[in-house]
Amino acid sequence: MDKKRDVLSVIISAVIITLLFHKQSLGLNLLFFETAFLIWLLFTKQIQRKNKTLLTFGTGLLLSAFITVFTHSVFAYVINFLSLFTFIGILIYPNVKSILNAIGLAFVSIFNSQIIFFNELFGIKFKGQKLGNHVWKYSIYIIPLIIIFIFIAIYSLSNPIFDNLVNWIASLFRKNLWAVFKHFDFAILITLFIGLFFANFLFLRTENKDIVDYDLNADDKLKRLKEGSSDGSSTNSLMNEYKAGVFLLIILNLLLVVLNAIDIKWVWFNFEWEGQYLKQFVHEGTYLLILSILISIFIVLFFFRANLNFYRKNRLLKILSYIWLAQNAVLVLSVAIRNYRYINYFALAYKRIGVIIFLILTLYGLYTVLIKVKLTKSAFYLFKKNTRALFVILFISSIFNWDGIIAQYNFKKANQSFLHLNYLSTLSDKTLPYLDKSLAEMEGIDELQKEKFPFNEIFMTPQAYVDSIYNRKITFKQKWESKSILSWNLPEYLAYKKLY
């Protein structure tokens, strides 16, 4: 390992990050940097072209960088960071079996890399000695300086004349210091330190042996545990656990049959909206049902965590588990219909879109639990499959400009769905062309809204909404025109073109 070369590459990268991101919002700069980083990895042959996982996630990272430019949403940037984080974990250990373990490797490395950098930096020789020795040599003066300042403080408190003298010297020092640094941009130092932190993470990657060993020994197939005694007590214990599982799942299945029957009758086919807010129907009801589904999954996992999988007479327990999982899938559909009803009457919002994404993942989770029970799979199998599904669903979701979809949909459905102007007025700048309506349009919509939704609460008036969007347009114009090419992104560019 060439310490000088490693330290130099990190410092150069930190400087590049500073030049790209200092006083810039995220845009093309992120795409430029991540593309350059991937090219550097290919050029230095750190990406193994035969490793499909590494190539897949490398391609995914590049795509997510493009997505941030084309959607410019917080969600897209979060997914991009998650993609980068996972990709670094796979770079550390290319044969990793689970995304979760790759994230674990990256998480440990992000802290270890900082220590490695300073160890290598202080290990570089300067004038025949290590840089660390020079630093240590001068650090001996820290304690005397602290003691000096303590005594200055004591003498200042005890003697007013001495205190005035100290204040005069401090004031003089501050004035001269201000004269020297008043034009200095301290923000650039913060950007440089942040850049150094990320450069260490990207270039000084370290492998964690414990995580690698765990991943190496992990298996999709569940293994039978050795029984602890030969007197039959282990068999009896297994029998008792089996009986408890059968009893519990019979009762729970009966309860869920009743609940599903009620939901199918009143939520699926006979729902009638009577002008209420639907908060209990959707918010509270949905969250409680989601919680029940998660608990249901853990119940099945508890009973099929070990040797009960290999119990010869476990057929009834398996059948009850399949019925229980199927009923929970019906419950997922009930939650989806509740959410659909809410969207139908109260339009789109982030949480309602989030519920849809969560329900898709929950259905897949129920399917993987069924496979785990049926084919005697391990918990590692579940984590591996579900984290991969989570990553794919979130990645696909980041492609869409949700703010634009929400704004367009909600105005389009204003004649049948509640138009929450307070909420719409807070959507991002890229939606301003969709939010920009004349006062006449807004007053017409307001009349329709009052007829269909005679709520007692006071919401934003058409005049207040139009004024708010007008002020936002002025601010957005100023912000966009002051941006450099590094902060360029497509949605705001299109918004500017449509508005001006």
List the Cα angle 491/346/422 in 5-degree steps. Answer: 60
pLDDT for residue 233:
44
Measured from the Cβ of residue 245, the count of other Cβ atoms closer than 10 Å reads 22
**Terminal C-alpha separation, the chain:** 56
> Would you say residue 244 lies in a domain?
yes
Phi, psi of 129 (to 5 degrees): -125, 155
The 3-state secondary structure of 30-57, one letter per residue: HHHHHHHHHHHHHHCCCCCCCCHHHHHH
Q: DSSP string spanning 228-277?
A: S-SSSHHHHHHHHHHHHHHHHHHHHHHHHHHHHHHHIIIIIIS----S--
Both 460 and 339 in one domain: the answer is no
Number of domains in the chain: 3
Query: At residue 18, does pLDDT exceed 60?
Result: yes
Q: Which residues of 352-367 are buried (b: 16+ CB within 10 A; e: fewer)?
A: bbebeebbebbbbbbe
Both 431 and 337 in one domain: the answer is no
Both 364 and 432 in one domain: the answer is no
Q: List the one residue out of 293, 305, 368 whose CA is nearest residue 329.
A: 293
For 272-331, how does the pLDDT look when each residue is reduced to its tens digit (9 = 90+)?
876 666 666 666 667 777 788 888 888 888 888 777 777 777 889 889 989 999 999 998
At 132, the pLDDT band (50, 70, 90 cuts) reads: low
Query: At residue 77, does pLDDT exceed 50?
Result: yes
Local structure of 206: helix, strand or coil: coil
Across residues 455-468, what is the average pLDDT? 90
Beta bridge partners of 377: 221
Out of 21-30, 101-110, 199-208, 219-228, which region has the weakest mean confidence (pLDDT)? Answer: 219-228
The 3-state secondary structure of 85-129, one letter per residue: HHHHHHHHCCCCCCHHHHHHHHHHHHHHHHHHHHHHHHHCEECCE
Both 242 and 211 in one domain: the answer is no
The whole-angstrom distance between residue 115's C-alpha and the CA centroid of its chain comes to 26
Domain that holds residue 296: 233-377
> Would you say residue 390 lies in a domain?
no
Domain edge (last residue) among 187, 220, 253: 220
At 143, the pLDDT band (50, 70, 90 cuts) reads: confident
Both 416 and 358 in one domain: the answer is no
Strands (E), 350-420: none
Can you tell me the distance from the alpha carbon of 432 to that of 480, in angstroms, rounded to the nearest whole number? 13
Residues 108 and 206: beta-carbon distance below 8 Å:
yes
Query: At residue 232, does pLDDT exceed 50?
Result: no
Both 479 and 332 in one domain: the answer is no
Can you tell me the distance from the alpha carbon of 65 to that of 81, in angstroms, rounded to the nearest whole number? 9
Both 276 and 372 in one domain: the answer is yes
Single-letter code of the amino acid located at 384: K
Can you tell me the distance from the alpha carbon of 427 to that of 431, in angstroms, rounded to the nearest whole number? 7
> Would you say residue 384 lies in a domain?
no
Residues 86 and 106: beta-carbon distance below 8 Å:
yes
For 168-203, how does the pLDDT look when each residue is reduced to its tens digit (9 = 90+)?
888 887 777 777 666 667 788 889 999 999 999 999
Measured from the Cβ of residue 30, the count of other Cβ atoms closer than 10 Å reads 23
Query: What distances in angstroms separate CA 261 from CA 301, 319, 417, one per listed residue?
Result: 26, 20, 28
DSSP 8-state class, residue 126: E
Domain edge (last residue) among 172, 196, 220: 220
> Would you say residue 294 lies in a domain?
yes
Both 200 and 239 in one domain: the answer is no
Measured from the Cβ of residue 81, the count of other Cβ atoms closer than 10 Å reads 13
Both 341 and 432 in one domain: the answer is no
> Would you say residue 108 lies in a domain?
yes
Both 367 and 447 in one domain: the answer is no
> Would you say residue 252 lies in a domain?
yes
Single-letter code of the amino acid located at 227: E
Across residues 146-167, what is the average pLDDT? 84
pLDDT for residue 230:
43
pLDDT > 70 in the chain, percent: 88
Query: What distances in angstroms separate CA 269 from CA 96, 340, 374, one per listed residue?
Result: 48, 13, 34
Can you tell me the distance from the alpha carbon of 455 to that of 453, in angstroms, rounded to the nearest whole number? 6
List the Cα angle 362/368/371 in 5-degree steps. Answer: 150
**Tokens found for residue 17:** 């990050």
The 3-state secondary structure of 428-454, one letter per residue: CHHHHHHHCCCHHHHHHHHHHHHHHCC
Domain edge (last residue) among 163, 190, 220: 220
Both 200 and 267 in one domain: the answer is no
Can you tell me the distance from the alpha carbon of 159 to that of 154, in angstroms, rounded to the nearest whole number? 9
> Would you say residue 122 lies in a domain?
yes
> Would you say residue 388 lies in a domain?
no
Local structure of 227: helix, strand or coil: coil
pLDDT for residue 279:
63
pLDDT for residue 275:
62
Beta bridge partners of 126: 129
Both 463 and 416 in one domain: the answer is yes
